[in-house]
Amino acid sequence: MRGPRTAVRRTARSRARNATIAAFVVLAATVPAAAVAAGSQQVDEVLPYVCALPSGEQTVTVRVTAAFPDRAAAGEPIVPSDVTTTVELPQTAVADLTARGAAGVRAATRLDVGVAQNEATARATWRGSTQPVALPASGPLTLTATGDVPSVTGQGAGELTFSAGDLALDLTPTTADGGATDPAALTVDCTLAADAPDGGRLAAVPVGPDAVPGTDAPGASPSGSPSGASSPSATPGLEDEAPAQRQGDLAPEVAENPPGGPAAKRDAPECRYDAGYPAGPTSLNAYITGYTNVNKLKSATRIPVSCTLIEQGEPQFEFYPDFSGATITQHSSGDLYYQGRKQTPPFEATFLTFDFTPTRATMVLEQTGPLTIDSAGATDFVFTSTDTWIRVPLVLRVTALEVNGTPLDVGPDCRTEKPLKSPEPDPAKHPGDHLVLHGRGEQTTGQPATGYLLTSGGPLTGEVTVPAFTGCGAGGEDLDRLLTASVSGSGNYVKQIQGQTCFVSAEVLNPDECTPDGQPLEIPRPER
């Protein structure tokens, strides 16, 4: 296999543990997506950028939309919501992609956002991803990315401003049959144009009881949680101190979307190897959770925290002739694991059937075939980029159902008639119905990883169809049509977050990764 040189820029992970983690998705139950709270300010800014395309520098239009609170208390995390980054690439960019044999593309965006309060500054990264987009026959290519952004906590009183900065586009082109192009990835770096209105300013949030929009208030000492949690802990002894007594302005705290942290109370199922599933020499485990859309109900549902056990394969390297880099491929396998079964924990969810009838269901996802994990990447021994595809056949089984307060007997065999199905980039090699999730990660030696890598976790995304239901009902009552009409359908976007893995086969468990009894220390938080 010849390596995609364009994807190779700068580091290699030296550890052989650079594999990927299994993933799953729950699609049947729904919780309405949160609406923008009253008192919010809506941002809709169109900004000019200059992007370095393979064919040369081009002017590109970028539109950023988001919702911010009208004001915030000192020490209160500010989390922009409903964030989208829409990039309109010119026809020349389309030509650059079609010259590589591409018929479609998926993109990830990284927008650098400057945060300032009084004289202090900080930086945040707003990440987003798009659905696969077909390349137009003519005209520009529009890519709309959505994703979660980090919270920002003002360190005292004063207007907190957000301004757009540099933008990076990570493009993954695909051929007409869904395969990878050569090179398999392309990163486009963009700079905010010098004539951008108001220097790219997006929003200003007054912070503190006396702050008024458009003015700066005196600085204050920090209070709040470094993690951007919803209940920040204040710094002792400073709450009642007058502003004049406080020393200087401190930079706003930016929580860079931490995938989670050790929980004081572990609200997660047991996740460890046992006599029925013994650990091997390359065994890992990790927790996973997230959200998925259900298009038919115009809402989203939370994916419960679940355990996955992985046996990773040996990474294969193929070096370039000049030894300037290498490609890396790896094939691994795994299983969902709950009380000895290959499934998720049971979970309950409530949704509205036909928009008005409250329905509550209890269900599980059952793994019905091999779970495979395939990674492909490139490295120049300073920078490494890796794409990972997770495939697993999953059947959604309903174990209990209550409609408008009345329990209905679904029987023992209520399930989707087929496994959940995703678009498959390589159907000849991977036939059959199964879920497909994709993650892309990068790492430079000595710096934290970005995106998805096994050891640090991260986001995995995909799209899935929920098949019709069968076997639902007892005593002559047919509930198949009720569930099929309420839930089944295609094009449901999935976003899942994997936590830090625990390398359970190590002679000494890493206390930063594992509990003393070999469970993953980190329980990830779901992200929309």
Longest dimension (CA), the chain: 77
> What is the C-alpha end-to-end distance of the chain, expressed in Å?
36
344: Cβ contacts below 8 Å, ≥ 6 apart: 24, 26, 304, 306, 336, 338, 364, 365
**Paired tokens of 84:** 């989208």
Distance CA 272, CA 101 (A): 45
**Paired tokens of 282:** 């390359």
| 494 CA to centre of own chain | 9
214 CB-contact burial (10 Å; exposed 0-12 / middle 13-18 / buried 19+): exposed
Question: According to the model, what pLDDT value does residue 298 have?
Answer: 67
Dihedral sign of CA atoms 54, 57, 63, 67 in order = positive
Where are the chain's structural domains? 5-19+259-524, 40-255
Question: According to the model, what pLDDT value does residue 226 have?
Answer: 28
Question: According to the model, what pLDDT value does residue 350 have?
Answer: 67
Task: Identify the residue whose tokens are 């942290």.
Answer: 261
- SS3 at position 5: helix
Residue 308, number of CB atoms within 10 A of its CB: 26
Nearest Cα to Cα of residue 52 among 169, 144, 197: 169
136: Cβ contacts below 8 Å, ≥ 6 apart: 94
Question: According to the model, what pLDDT value does residue 261 have?
Answer: 41
| 46 CA to centre of own chain | 25
pTM score over 0.75 = no
pLDDT < 50 regions, the chain: 1-38, 211-248, 256-265
Task: Identify the residue whose tokens are 């976007």.
Answer: 493
Average pLDDT over all residues of the chain? 78
DSSP state of 86: E
Distance CA 358, CA 354 (A): 9
